[in-house]
Structure 1
Amino acid sequence: MITSESELPPRLGSLTFHSPLSEARATRIFERLAAAGPADVLDIGCGWGELLLRVLEAAPAARGVGIDINAEDLARGRALAESRGLGDRVEFVEESALGTDRGPVDAILCLGASQALCDPEESHDPAVALRELRRLVRPGGRVVLGEGFWERTPTDGELAAMWPGASADDHLSLGALVDLAIEAGFRPAWIETAGVEEWEEFESGYRYDTEVWLAAHPDHPLAAETRERVDRQRSTWLNGYRGVLGIAYLTLVAVV
């Protein structure tokens, strides 16, 4: 029987960002955003909002809102904001981003969360997400979009080893993704993609605490289901999308 929360497998405690994002790249991203002097920043699918907090630290006149549906991550974000003296300048809200009326704003962060802007009953469509982002940002404002793309067309074997129902239609090429951003009313001011080391840091950090917990609690009542879950997650990366799925970080400027 579980007698305390300390016995439960920890979750994502070794990740700074919930994305394959290095400290160096994050710094360049938030410095570019802060240099534009935003008054308000919206983080869609914010998780614990680490990048949002760094933008606010670099742009002391700005205020921020992070929205997500994960209460645990939002609580972590609030605690981080208070510890860094930002509690009066940022709000973490548990709500859906679908059809949100929290715009227009000067700057938007949407890292690995564009699906939150799309109808969950429909296939994820980055064109829909980009149009929503354009609706939510003021002319001349900035959007940082973190979005998956195929580094190359995956083989049938690689697709079979990925997430259930994985298809070559799940993502676009980088060029096609940037073209969609332009069609939605943006200019792509900066185009960059996560490197191998960033992916390895993210994937290993995603499971690190749980793997250490499993090694120390092999007979825990939750060990079997936890082991099955993390083994499946690791396999989808190593045998499926490693070297195939990329993450692009696009700094987009809304056309006036």
Structure 2
Amino acid sequence: MTTPSRHSRLTFHGPLSEARADQLVTRLAANTPTTVVDIGCGWGELMLRILAATPDATGTGIDINADDLARARKAAEARGLTARVRFLEESATGTPHGPADLVLCVGASQALGGTLPEALGELRRLVSEDGRVLLGEGFWQRPPTPAELARMWPDAKADDHPDLATLVGLAVDAGFRPEWTQTASLDEWEEFESAYLADTEVWLARHPGHPLAAETRERADRHRAAWLTYRGVLGLAYLTLVPVAAEGPG
């Protein structure tokens, strides 16, 4: 029985363009990390690109989604990186896989604690003293209205995200300095969200009478309504964070 493909048009599971990915890989690889940990790695695409650019580095991806990890392992094998990377199906809460020279946490801070300050504290624990953290984190570009919140994800609340200044301030409070601050563009959001649903939308157009069509249509319509509501309201920041050195004599 034919069912819709999932995510075949996505390279990254988030609003990240090829151009921005190239910039991030170049910048992070320039620090010549030898160990990389990817929290909530999903398909591991960004980590695999960093490993390809740093031949002496090894990587550890952590996620609880077995299907995503299977895709990541297949990608690693196709690029000849299997010997330098491992993908672990486990929780990142309290993970012992650190400290690392580079810690990636893109759209996955919830895996490290119930609050953003808790997650940032964990990231500070997981990064080596001369390392870097790449944090991809949501923020409100403007305060959402009650009507907008009602059309977003279930139980969406105004305090689900901070604004950008507060987000960066929380990182500083956790013991980091922001080396680089970037935010996803509207084009990146539209590319991501359109590609996220594209396979499903084409399948629905071609199989309107399929037994799964009603359920699939309702799910797709709900997701589209949500993202068209948070379009221009919800942002995603890419923060390259440097841990502040512990103070010593002199």
- Give the TM-score band, short-chain normalised: over 0.9
Can you list the C-alpha shifts for 1:61-96, whole angstroms capped at 9, x where unaligned? Answer: 000011111111110011111111111111111111
2:246 matches 1:251: no
- The equivalent residue for 1:23 is 18
* Residue of 184, 205, 228 corresponding to 1:215: 205
* Residue of 62, 87, 94 corresponding to 1:92: 87
Counterparts of 1:57-96 in structure 2, within 5 Å, are 57-96=52-91
2:173 matches 1:183: yes
How much has 1:8 moved relative to structure 2? Answer: 2.0
How much has 1:253 moved relative to structure 2? Answer: 0.8
Query: What secondary structure, in the 3-state scheme, does the structure 2 residue paired with 1:13 have?
Result: coil
Can you list the C-alpha shifts for 1:111-167, whole angstroms capped at 9, x where unaligned? Answer: 10100111xxxxx41111100000001112100000000001111111111111111
Rounded to whole Å, the distance in 2 between the matches of 1:61 and 1:8 is 42
How much has 1:43 moved relative to structure 2? Answer: 0.5
- The equivalent residue for 2:182 is 192
- The equivalent residue for 1:14 is 9
- The equivalent residue for 1:121 is none
Query: What secondary structure, in the 3-state scheme, does the structure 2 residue paired with 1:253 have?
Result: strand
Rounded to whole Å, the distance in 1 between the matches of 2:111 and 2:200 is 27
Query: What secondary structure, in the 3-state scheme, does the structure 1 residue paired with 2:137 have?
Result: strand
2:119 matches 1:129: yes
- The equivalent residue for 1:173 is 163
2:27 matches 1:32: yes
2:36 matches 1:41: yes
Rounded to whole Å, the distance in 1 between the matches of 2:211 and 2:42 is 28
How much has 1:30 moved relative to structure 2? Answer: 1.1
Q: What is the RMSD computed on CA atoms of the aligned residues?
A: 0.8
Rounded to whole Å, the distance in 2 between the matches of 1:77 and 1:107 is 19
Amino acid at match of 2:108: A
Any runs of at least 4 consecutive aligned residues in structure 1 with deviations exceeding 2 A, and if so which?
none
How much has 1:220 moved relative to structure 2? Answer: 1.5
Rounded to whole Å, the distance in 1 between the matches of 2:115 and 2:163 is 13
- The equivalent residue for 2:230 is 241
Amino acid at match of 1:23: E
Can you list the C-alpha shifts for 1:160-188, whole angstroms capped at 9, x where unaligned? Answer: 11111111111001000001101111110
Query: What secondary structure, in the 3-state scheme, does the structure 2 residue paired with 1:205 have?
Result: helix
Query: What secondary structure, in the 3-state scheme, does the structure 2 residue paired with 1:88 have?
Result: helix
Rounded to whole Å, the distance in 1 between the matches of 2:3 and 2:90 is 26
* TM-score, normalization by structure 2: 0.96
Rounded to whole Å, the distance in 2 between the matches of 1:132 and 1:164 is 27
How much has 1:13 moved relative to structure 2? Answer: 1.2
2:111 matches 1:111: no
Can you list the C-alpha shifts for 1:183-226, whole angstroms capped at 9, x where unaligned? Answer: 11111000000001000000001111111111121111111111
- The equivalent residue for 1:230 is 220
Rounded to whole Å, the distance in 2 between the matches of 1:95 and 1:222 is 31
Structure 1: gaps (5+ residues): 119-123
Query: What secondary structure, in the 3-state scheme, does the structure 2 residue paired with 1:187 have?
Result: strand
Rounded to whole Å, the distance in 2 between the matches of 1:113 and 1:86 is 23
Amino acid at match of 2:224: R
